[in-house]
Amino acid sequence: MKLFALCLFLLMYVLMVLLPRRRTWVALGAAAIALVARLLPLRALPGAVNWNVLFMIAGTMVIVHYFIDSKMPSRIADELMARSKSVKWVAVYMSVFAGLISAFIDNVATVLMVAPVGMAVCKKQGINPVPMILSIAVSSNLQGAATLVGDTTSIMLGDYAGMDFTSFFWMEGKPGIFFAVELGALAAVGVMCFLFRKDTQPVTPGGKTPVGDKFPGFMLLAVIACLIAASFVPHKPDVTNGLICLALAAVTMARDRIRTGDKKRLWAAFEAVDTSILLLLVGLFIVIAAITQVGLVDDFAGWIVKVGGSDLFVLYTVILFGSVAISAFVDNIPYVATMLPVLAGVTSALGMEPYLLYFGLLSGATLGGNLTPFGASANVTGVGLLMREGHDVSFQDFARIGVPFTLAAVCVSYVFLWLVWH
């Protein structure tokens, strides 16, 4: 059963790489096979799908539709280009901006908010948007580990280890993982400068695009504020963030319907929800839940700990880089959930504090998703937005951005955490 599940998982990824425009059908097909083969019981199907992420994407897409329609992204693009010396610096600024936002709200929501601005910049400059949008996606994924509220895995670690918001900044008299992530982000900025080194053409800002309606922009700010506030509410339902996004989307739609009286605008908002992205994620969630159900994730976790042995440096190295490799293909939520008690048991047996290994796990599991287009929901969303605009994104296109970005950020975080916490 495990061998079959592993083969199905690998085949799915190979076909998604070879058939980029059939990724959704490949994922759904693999999910159907997993269900028919009973790798995942039907009763476990509702829990296998991350409804919170799907609801967040759907709700945010609706608000972003009105945001784009208001011409606000074009106006922000105008302001950004007026302050930039070249296209290279526009790309760097967009990536840094996305990273800062995603330290406090979900990575997918960040991509959906920032990508339209990047797309507007590229259209105004007449350049290929693929590198810039992918940079926004991987930057969003990087900063998720910086704070307690930045990513689901950060929340899981905080809950399991009894850490609060300030623990990510300073704990037990030492700088926390926030500084490791930010140093990694700084190294990633250097990578971005290198990757966009040839884009030295000066930007050509035109006039200021008039904004038709500022309300969608305010609603996006409301999304950020509400998601941050919700992160401090204990014992909330798992779908809280998704319901917040759906509720604010409904308010935005209702307000526009009352303001304009135009039914066509309402239907256009519904059509703005990209079902291909949602269905792709559903398929991935089911297949990943299936390999988790049969015990493959547990096996990988046990193998990592076994290879690490009892030497702290070797154990830390294997956990961090092993987590990078695994989370490039496996959803990091079940993986982190599996590894936390394993690491707690290992460090207890060795008579040491677990925080170095906890932070190494979180860093690796968060950053590893940037190695592949399907390793993180933010990447899937970014690629989906590009394909919706008619731009094909190959595995090589993504790797050209994601791999050097990930390696730079991981290596800097790895050194910092070891020096501070060993």
Q: What confidence tens digit (pLDDT) does each residue in 189-221 have? A: 888 888 888 888 787 766 677 777 888 888 888
Helix H segments across 162-198?
A: 177-195
pLDDT per residue as tens digits for the range 158-189: 767 877 778 888 888 899 889 999 998 899 88
pLDDT per residue as tens digits for the range 364-419: 988 888 888 877 878 888 888 898 888 888 888 888 998 998 899 999 999 999 99
Give the pLDDT band of residue 253 (cuts 50, 70, 90). very high
Tell whether the torsion through CA atoms of 370, 373, 375 and 377 is positive or negative: positive
| pLDDT value, residue 205 | 64
3-state secondary structure of 83: coil
Rounded Cα–Cα distance for residues 302 and 202 (Å):
52
Q: How much of the chain is helix, strand and coil, in % rounded to 5?
A: 75, 0, 20
3-state secondary structure of 175: strand
Please list the residues that pair with 268 across neighbouring strands: none
Would you say residue 28 has pLDDT above 90? yes
Better pLDDT: 127 or 335: 127
82-92: average pLDDT: 81
| pLDDT value, residue 31 | 92
Q: What is the mean pLDDT of the chain?
A: 83
Would you say residue 7 has pLDDT above 80? yes
What range defines the domain where residue 105 resides?
Answer: 2-421
Give the pLDDT band of residue 360 (cuts 50, 70, 90). very high
Would you say residue 71 has pLDDT above 90? no
- The answer to whether the beta carbons of residues 157 and 163 sit under 8 Å apart is yes
Please give the tally of structural domains in the chain.
1
| pLDDT value, residue 258 | 87
Least Cα distance to 364 among 322, 405, 329 occurs for: 322
| pLDDT value, residue 420 | 92
